[in-house]
A = this chain, B = another copy of it.
Amino acid sequence: MSELAPTFGEWTGAIQQRTESALDRFLPSIAIAPARLHDAMRYAVLGGGKRVRPLLCHAAGALSGADPAALDAAACAVELIHAYSLVHDDMPCMDDDVLRRGKPTVHVQYDDATALLVGDSLQSLAFLLLAEHCPVEPAARVRLVSELAVASGSRGMAGGQAIDLASVGVALGVAELEFMHIHKTGALIRCAVRLGAGCGSLDVAAAARLDHYAATVGLLFQVVDDVLDCEASTAALGKTAGKDAAANKPTYVSTLGLGRARERARELHGEAVASLEHFGAGARRLRELADFVLTRQN
């Protein structure tokens, strides 16, 4: 490897750092009223998380020749949607969780009403970033808003959460389980890749291959999540482990068994990597990210 090419660890560190600094810049200051809400929004978003979605967004954008400043806005928009979904998910009326990224969840640290408003406000801010802070042509910006709205709404992430809630205590088949996870987790991860690509330009065939990668990695992420939830400790995860089994929620592990779930993860990883074949060296980070999603420990 040439001295000019950073290692995967160096590259992720650099993107995580620039994402943190962009998020810090885009989030309202606590000097602006209402200070407590803005403080809670910053608590929910800053200083934690692997930033998998921003990493995917930047890696896809590098492939489509996107402006890094546009990628910052798109990556942060997706991350804000992700952060809002965690805040609402952790609330007592949903998963009722007290620990996230090794810290008390927002409703524990502040209160339930504030957590509700934090999530609501982070969602609005995500759309504001795309509309106002993403230096691409207006027609492209409109497409980004549209993609993010579909991926996060009732036919995407929020819809997946509704299916998840309805599936407690229900024995799902693999097809139904994948339908649920394609919405709940997959839609936003896929959107991260699509927004990154959409900040630049790709021909139709390349965009379709990249989208296949994105959809596959989205599902892979959730299969690995289910395996980790079953295997890892709370300390390693930074969130409560074993929750799904305790909540009687169907997972890949409960549906397929641990061995077959691990095998499904390897299959999806192979499929994701195969869909990058035509891109050559430019897709290196996307390949490494597929490896990372497969082998991550938290």
Contact = CB atoms under 8 A, between A and B. Distances in A.
Given A113-B165, A138-B141, A141-B142, A154 B28 contact: yes
A27 to B, nearest CB: 9
A41 interface: yes
Interface stretch (A9-17, A126-134, A268-276): A126-134
Contacts of A179: 33
A251 to B, nearest CB: 19
A62 B121 CA distance: 31
B159 A37 contact: yes
Interface in A108-156: 111-117, 119-121, 123-125, 127-128, 130-132, 137-139, 141-143, 145-146, 148-150, 152-156
A145 B158 contact: no
Interface stretch (A86-94, A237-245, A278-286): A86-94
Nearest to A95: B113
Given A37-B162, A127-B145, A138-B139, A91 B120 contact: no
A82 to B, nearest CB: 13
A91 to B, nearest CB: 7
A99 interface: no
Interface residues of A, number: 57
Most chain B CB neighbours (cut-off 10 Å) among A38, A84, A85, A116: A116
A41 B271 CA distance: 36
Contacts of A19: none
Contact of A94 (B116, B153, B159): B116
A163 interface: yes
* A contact patch SS: helix
B120 A123 contact: yes
Number of copies: 2
A259 interface: no
Contacts of A113: 93-94, 165
B91 A161 contact: no
Contacts of A37: 154, 158-159, 162
A23 B159 CA distance: 19
10 contacts: A34-B159, A37-B154, A37-B162, A41-B154, A93-B93, A93-B115, A114-B162, A117-B161, A127-B149, A131-B145
